[in-house]
Amino acid sequence: MKVNDVLEYARWAGAGVGIFWANYVGGSPQEQFGIITIWTVLAVAGLSGIESLFFGKAASKISGYGGAGGYQRQSGLNNLALALACILAYALGWGTMAQAALMSVLLIFLILSSANHAYSAFREGNRNLRNLLRPVLTTLLVVVILPYMIAALSG
């Protein structure tokens, strides 16, 4: 198994672990959402950033996008910035509103990224597994996370 495959599975597994852990140890909706946010943002944005920066050429090839370049690096840096901002929000105790802002950025990015993968799969004929699964897995992640986010913001 290649590093990029491990990172792809680790992204989704990290989000899943966060959701499980939130239900296992989280008390209030704010605590649950906080746990989900740190796990999901670090797993998805952090690992995507690492993949783009260090394994970008292979990631680009797997997705059928050609070689990696400055844009791939830039995208990786953006994902790492989101992950680092999430760490800062927790370390400095910025609270639920900051977590909601960070999670919103991640979810909006994932929705737009999924649209790009779907476009590539169906409009450009690039029907690799990653392009076909990304919209499905993103939809699942959004549907699972939104109730936690809404509950945390309502309380």
Average pLDDT, the chain: 89
Contacts with 50 (C-beta within 8 Å, 6 or more apart), sequence order = 7, 76, 80
Half-sphere exposure of 112 (CA within 13 A, CB side): 6
Q: Residue written as tokens 């140890």?
A: 25
Q: What is the pTM of this model?
A: 0.78
pLDDT band at 128 (very low <50, low <70, confident <90, very high): confident
Q: What is the pLDDT of residues 33-76, one digit of tens each?
A: 999 999 999 999 999 888 888 888 887 777 766 665 655 777 88
Domain-by-domain residue ranges, the chain? Answer: 3-154
DSSP letter for 55, please.
S
